[in-house]
Structure 1
Amino acid sequence: MLPHALERVPAWCRGWKESGRLVLLLDFDGTLAPIVERPEMAAMPAETRTALERLMAMPGVQAAVVSGRGLADVRERAAIPGIAYAGNHGMEIEGAGLHRMHPDAVSARPSLEAAARLIEPALAAIPGAFVEDKGMTLSIHFRQVPPERHDEVRDAVERVVRGDGGLHVTTGKMVIEVRPRVDWDKGKAVLFLLGHIRPPFNAPVLYLGDDRTDEDAFRALA
């Protein structure tokens, strides 16, 4: 059985002291900010912001927010100086001397626009369902949809995406995502970030996340 995370705190502190570095990789929704009914309502609580700012002021601390949100959106909502940001599950990365957009995801933009034009009318008759266009991915939110109609939302999205081999569907907490079919996820994004910032081998690397997409990062760092 894996140890509880809190049991590892002394080892992390020891590694931080010995290496002089601590790397924090943080999801946004459900981790830095509570889950809310609509994505535009999400905000980081003041006490969380204060704690993160205090951490960033400590020697040797580096941090990145790794989110499914679009890069500009998560950067605006987090707005912590000195932090790097990975948006759209790492397809967009900015900070720590980086500015990267996955080229295959950029190329898939016309396909995403076409999918959005088809999905939106297909969901029009389902109260509470809506499409969020995040530039490199689409999120179809159904948190406010009656449970007995959840399958209708999934079916509508899958019918559209099935016709485009360059896109695929993933699921999260009360959200369906349409993504470019590229070999990239939060796991590959955090390894890319770590390869760039090059922390010492014994520096603690902590990833905090609450959704299915964060499991890609957990596996990459295991």
Structure 2
Amino acid sequence: MTSDPAAMPPSQTRPEQTPTPLSAPDFSTPTEVDLRPITGAESVLIALDFDGVLAPLQDDPELSRMLPESARAIRALTTLPGTRVALVSGRDITTLRALADPPESVWLVGSHGAEVNLGTVPTASSSVAPSTTGPSSAAPSTTGPFSTAPSTSAPFSSESSPRRSAEEQRMLEAIDAHIASFEHSLSADPSTGSGTASDGGSGASVRVERKPFSRTVHTRGLDAEFASALHAQVIAVQTEHPGIRVIEGHDITELAVKTATKGDGLRALATADSPAAVLYLGDDVTDEDAFAELEGSRALSGMGIKVGPAPTRAPWRITDPSAVAELLTRLADERRTRQARQ
């Protein structure tokens, strides 16, 4: 690993074990989860997804907010010696920081691992230097990263804009053109869908989140049949541009021009912090990459906890963000008590 904590070594060079197949472990209460490997470790990295873990899922993703109990628990954890907290999200880092409002010491991984912030400005996790000039730079946004119409302005906002390669820029422009095309067709024919919760069902409105390395189409609140048809329409761009990566999650379809995963992001965090133990909590399909990294790498020791009912390779499962808040509160209390006895 280089001195750059955000640099990613080739995956084929890492010593790994074969990941456990996805399964369905029983639900545990926050008090039943065995946290001793984390509470007793000299140093720990606590990595947490945001949407669906710290914040309940919302029809309008701009309304997502961390539960107050989780916010208090995170603040308590950041005051403990040898305890690093990080947020690992599909959101871009600027939006993640604005919505989560974490303490300054909390590290951030955004765009499914493509952005890593270790307390300074965001950088891309594949050794890409930040840039404030050139075709990939963006002015600060006054309207946020979401829109329900094609964007003619800069595609994202950030303290500094991670540089995209020429090929990534070309693919992102192709994605934007593709999205603009089907948005136009939907607006021209309102009968093609049932609309969203925000438009009262009068027509098929599409909510698009624009990130540095991807575009996310949100389908929460749409009629199921229309959402399925929209998903097929969104991913059709991959036929002409096979380098585009399709990411599917809770009521989202994302088109990405980087192949970074949350597993890459977790590895960058662990490399920078060198913790004795790692705890990762996630609820979505993309979090399985982090669970696999935690399980398969001989360099990492720790545990994963799945939030919600979906199949997972994590050994533990809890129900929802309220359970997460209870578990994090317990973790802070038990770790503080154990440290006081040492």
TM-score normalised over the length of structure 2: 0.58
Query: Could you say which residue in structure 2 is the equivalent of 1:189?
Result: 265
Stretches of 4+ aligned residues off by more than 4 angstroms: 1-5, 96-99
- Can you list the C-alpha shifts for 1:25-70, whole angstroms capped at 9, x where unaligned? 0100011111001111111122211111011111111011000001
Once residues 69 and 181 of structure 1 are traced to their aligned partners in structure 2, the CA distance between those partners, rounded to angstroms, is 14
In the alignment, which of 209, 214, 222 is matched to residue 287 of structure 2? 214
Alignment of 1:140-151 (within 5 A): 140-151=217-228
Which residue is equivalent to 1:152? 229
**Is contact 1:67-1:89 (8 Å) kept?**
yes
Taking the aligned partners of 1:98 and 1:77, their CA distance within structure 2 comes to 17
CA offset digits 1:133-153 (Å, max 9, x no partner):
112111111112101212211
Q: Is the 8 A contact 2:235 2:255 kept in 1?
A: no
Partner AA of 2:108 in structure 1: Y
Task: Tell me the SS of whatever aligns to 2:271.
Answer: helix
Which of the two has higher C-alpha Rg? 2
| Aligned counterpart, 2:12 | none
Deviation at 1:111, TM superposition (A): 1.8
Q: Is the 8 A contact 1:90 1:185 kept in 2?
A: yes
Aligned counterpart, 1:83 = 106
Give yes or no for contact 1:120–1:130 (8 Å, CA) kept in 2. no
Q: Which whole-Å deviations, capped at 9, do the CAs of 1:168-220 have from their partners, x for residues lacking one? A: 212101100101153x2000111121112112xxx221001100000000000
Root-mean-square deviation (CA, aligned residues, Å) is 2.3
Deviates more, 1:92-101 or 1:75-84: 92-101
Q: How has the CA–CA distance of structure 1 residues 11 and 194 changed in structure 2, closer, same or farther, with 3 Å as cutoff?
A: closer
- Tell me the residue number matched to 1:64: 86
Q: Deviations over 1:80-131 (max 9, x none)?
A: 2201101101101111568421449822134213312221331452423322
Please give the TM-score of this superposition, normalised by the length of structure 1: 0.87
Query: Which residue of 16, 24, 27 corresponds with 2:49?
Result: 27
Partner of residue 117 from structure 2, selected from 94, 113, 118: 94
Structure 2 residue aligned with 1:106: 164
Amino acid at match of 1:52: I
The question of whether the paired residues in 1 share the 8 Å contact of 2:45 and 2:273 is answered with: no
8 Å CA contact 2:216–2:253 kept in 1: the answer is yes
Q: Is the 8 A contact 2:104 2:119 kept in 1?
A: no
Aligned to 2:245: 168
Q: Is 1:9 equivalent to 2:35 in the alignment?
A: yes
Asked if structure 1 preserves the Cα contact closer than 8 Å seen for 2:109 and 2:116, the reply is: yes
Give the structure, 1 or 2, with the largest relative contact order (CA under 8 Å, sep 6 or more): 2
Q: Which residue number in structure 2 is paired with residue 119 of structure 1?
A: 179
